Amino acid sequence: MSDPVARQGPAAGAAPPAQNVEYRVAHLQDRLAAEELGELGVRSEIRAGAVVVTGTVPSAQCRETLLRVVHEELAGITVHSDIVVAETARPDHAEEL
C-alpha cells in the first residue's frame, strides 16, 4: 500500500519550493504587464522567503486591482506590498520658493 502523505504533496504550512515561487512571480509580472492593468512600474522580488511588491500606481482603484491580482497569483506565499498611489490632484496652494 502506498504512503498517503506522498500523494498529497508538501505538508500544510510548508514553504513552497523556491523554483515554484520564482515561476509564480514571473507569471505575476507577465500578467500585470499584459492584462487590464498594464503596470510595468510595479516590481516583485523574492526576499527572505517572501515576495515584496513595490511601485507606484495612478489611482486607489488601480492599487486595489493590483493587490487582488497579486493575491490571486501568489496565494499561499507571504507577500509584503508597498504600492503608492501617485498624487495627480492639482495643488491647492502655490509653492513657496
Q: Which amino acid is at 20?
A: N
Calculate ∠ Cα 18-21-26, nearest 5°.
130
Tally DSSP H helices, then E strands, for the chain.
3, 3
The pLDDT of residue 38 is: 72
Cell of 26: 514571473
Find the mean pLDDT for residues 23-41: 82
pTM (predicted TM-score): 0.67
Q: What pLDDT score does 90 carry? A: 75
